[in-house]
Amino acid sequence: MNSVKISPSILSANFAFLGEQVREAEEAGVDYIHVDVMDGHFVPNITIGPLIVKALRPVTKLPLDVHLMIENPERYIEDFAKAGADIITVHQETCPHLHRSLQQIQNLDVRAGVSINPSTPANTLDEIISEVDLVLVMSVNPGFGGQSYIHSCTAKIQKLREMLDQCGSSADLEVDGGVNVETVNEVIGAGANAFVAGSAVFNDKNSVAENVKLLREKIKNT
Ligand code: DX5
Ligand code: ZN
C-alpha cells in the first residue's frame, strides 16, 4: 500500500489504445484512474462522457476518479455513477447547491469530491469540508493537460490540509495540474496525500511504468 496516491489522467493517454494505457498504469502500481470530463462551457475544451467510464469499468479494478469540469453537474451525476465511477468530483464554482450535489453523489454510494480553481479561496469550502471524501485542488486553470504548476496554489494546499486535520477528516487531499518530478515534492510537502499526473505519466519520453517509477522515487528521496 502506497501512502501517496497517484491518479494518472487519461487526458494525456493515447485514446486509440485507451484500455491498454489504463492496464499499463494499473500494472505500474498507480492508485486511481483520473477521468477528466469537460463540456466546452465551464472549460474551453470538450472531452468525454459516461460512455467512456462504462467502457473502462471492466478494464481495471482501480477506482475511477471522475473529475466533472461541467456546468450543471447534477444532471449527469447519476449517469456517471451507473457507468461505474467510484469517486465523482464536482467544482465548487459550478454548484450553487453544493451540499445537495455532494449528497446526491454519496446517496448513489459513490465517494464525493469537491474541486476549486486556482482563483477560488480555500475558505469557500469551510462549511462543507467535514462532509467530503476528497478535495481536489486545481493547480492549473482547468481545461488542458500539460500546463505549468501555479506555485501560488501551494499555500492553499497547506491551508486545506489544516482544515481537514482540524475536523478530523481522512478525506483525500488531491492536487491536479502540472504535477511532475519537478513539482511533486512541493505538493506532497504542503500536505497533499494524492496527486493527478497526466503528461508526467503518459508521454513519448518513457513508458508508463518508467514514469510512475520516477515519480515514486522522487517522493521517496525527499
Ligand atoms: C486539467 C485536468 C487535469 C490534467 C492534468 O484540466 O483536470 O487532470 O489532465 O494534466 P497534467 O498533469 O499534464 O497537468
Ligand atoms: Zn482533472
The pLDDT tens digits of the residues spanning 2-39 come to 699 999 999 999 999 999 999 999 999 999 999 999 99
Pocket test of ligand 1: the residue of 6, 11, 35, 136 to mutate, having most ligand atoms within 8 Å of its CB, is: 11
Would the pLDDT of 66 be above 60?
yes
Question: Can you tell me the distance from the alpha carbon of 29 to that of 102, in angstroms, rounded to the nearest whole number?
Answer: 29
For residue 178, the ligand 1 atom closest to its alpha carbon is 14
- Ligand 1 pocket test target in 117, 184, 199, 204 with most atoms within 8 Å of CB: 199
Contact 143, 45 (CB under 8 A): yes
Quick check: is 36 catalytic? yes
pLDDT value at position 146?
A: 98
Any alpha helices (H) in the chain, and if so which ranges? 18-27, 50-56, 77-83, 98-107, 153-166, 184-189, 208-220
Q: Which residue has the cell 488542458?
A: 144
How far from 204 is each of 49, 124, 183, 200, 201, CA to CA, in Å? 26, 39, 20, 10, 10
pLDDT in tens, 151-205: 999 999 999 999 999 999 999 999 999 999 999 999 999 999 999 999 999 999 9
Q: What is the pLDDT of residue 222?
A: 63
- Given the residues 31, 36, 65, 133, the one annotated as active site: 36
Q: Cα separations (Å) of 43 from 36, 70, 76, 124?
A: 11, 7, 16, 20
Cβ(176) – ligand 1 distance below 6 Å: yes
